[in-house]
Structure 1
């Protein structure tokens, strides 16, 4: 994909020293970087809990024009304004404009699904069946609704920001999501995904940014802590459990 809907982001204005954002590790890293580039159709943001990957993804989404709680750029609802102000300090560089897009976050997916039901019932009635599947997203399991949304709503030449989609999906459904991502990449779509899933991170030619105390660094798939720990556990769960659960 030569065209990039998001080519890079940078911290374009200083964060006040008395702001809680000033203390965030991800903000400190962005201050030290000229820009964070997105060179692949699929980019993963990975790191330990609290590293700031979801905060960064959320800020990118809001700066691009998406609703903070998820949805397309046309979604207009708010149940709780808990997002940070980091988006106000970001500048996005792009060299193309997407036909469509979606910010999908597991944390507030219920709220987005409720908003969809309200909109379609009020304005479009039964057309919800063709836009988001055969049933309301609320009438499916969490994982089913995630995949129904991707299958029915995600289209080509679009930008998709996914925040920890693995929260709703079994390992086999994660593999289904990989297939869906690949189909959309072939249709000139771009993905930026914050995740802990070593299954998703295995996507070929994806760029992986690891957020840690040392910075925001590009890493190889097999260098990620997620891959290494998962592999060690699966190769010898008894040994790992012995150390984890041994009494002091």
Structure 2
């Protein structure tokens, strides 16, 4: 399922060289990104792939978006997003979709790291569990009662045991199992964080299945050669000027790995 078919970047770029995010996307001004079931934004550090995901998340109003930074009174980021636009996809009857699935989510690498850290630190974990209760509508009296309850201590024990049993990478995989559900739209920023190459490939294969068989759509920012080489994706190379699509084996980061192992090939023979 294609929930979002395209996204047009702002054609207006401020002349101020320090304006953010204008200065990051000046070589992409007015570009229209066409999305597949899985679309990847590739680029090295500073290429704007994370900023682009956040702009899309803000424009679409997806849970997990972060407010764009602004400087001075001109509010460059808000203006940039105002000039951006998008098109939703169509259903099986070729009718334009009215909106995105309710479970749509923007999940960042720091979100995963925070969840791992929350599990590792009892105090932070306790606050997180109390916060979850508050989000579900618990008032102060109910929160106070929950804080001293057997239910909370049991939950703390269960999660703490899980952390002792599983590594950061295994915890990350479990978090993806919990968050990635059929029939939804996901923006993922560097999902390979904390994952071994084998688990990166496993996660990419799961995304392929979710996209092909379970009506999910993914837009992913990554420079992992293992993710890039496994995902059945359309890849935008944000390092290219002008912006263009590419095959995974053409990308600089992938070729860097290839050259590194070629240099040491004799050690493997």
The Cα shift of 1:57 comes to 1.0
Q: Which residue among 1, 13, 34 is the counterpart of 1:37? A: 34
2:23 corresponding residue in structure 1: 24
Over residues 40-88 of structure 1, what are the superposed CA-to-partner deviations in whole Å (9 max), with x where a residue is unaligned? 211111112111111111111121113335xxxxxxxxxxx66562434
The Cα shift of 1:8 comes to 0.8
Aligned length: 219
Q: Which residue among 109, 119, 136 is the counterpart of 2:131? A: 119
Q: Which residue among 184, 187, 190 is the counterpart of 1:164? A: 190
The Cα shift of 1:184 comes to 1.4
The Cα shift of 1:207 comes to 0.3
2:214 corresponding residue in structure 1: 187
1:7 corresponding residue in structure 2: 5
Does the alignment pair 1:87 with 2:73? no
> Any stretches of 5+ residues in structure 2 without a counterpart?
71-76, 90-96, 119-123, 139-145
2:44 corresponding residue in structure 1: 48
1:244 corresponding residue in structure 2: none
The Cα shift of 1:197 comes to 0.4
Q: Distance in 1 between matches of 2:130 and 2:109?
A: 20
Change (3 A) 1:121 1:135: farther
Larger radius of gyration: 2
Q: Residue 61 of structure 1 aligns to a residue in which SS?
A: helix
- TM-score normalised by the chain length of structure 2: 0.69
1:154 corresponding residue in structure 2: 180
2:92 corresponding residue in structure 1: none
> Any stretches of 5+ residues in structure 1 without a counterpart?
70-80, 240-248
Q: Distance in 2 between matches of 1:31 and 1:188?
A: 31
Over residues 115-157 of structure 1, what are the superposed CA-to-partner deviations in whole Å (9 max), with x where a residue is unaligned? 8534334449869x99xxx737x94643233211211222111
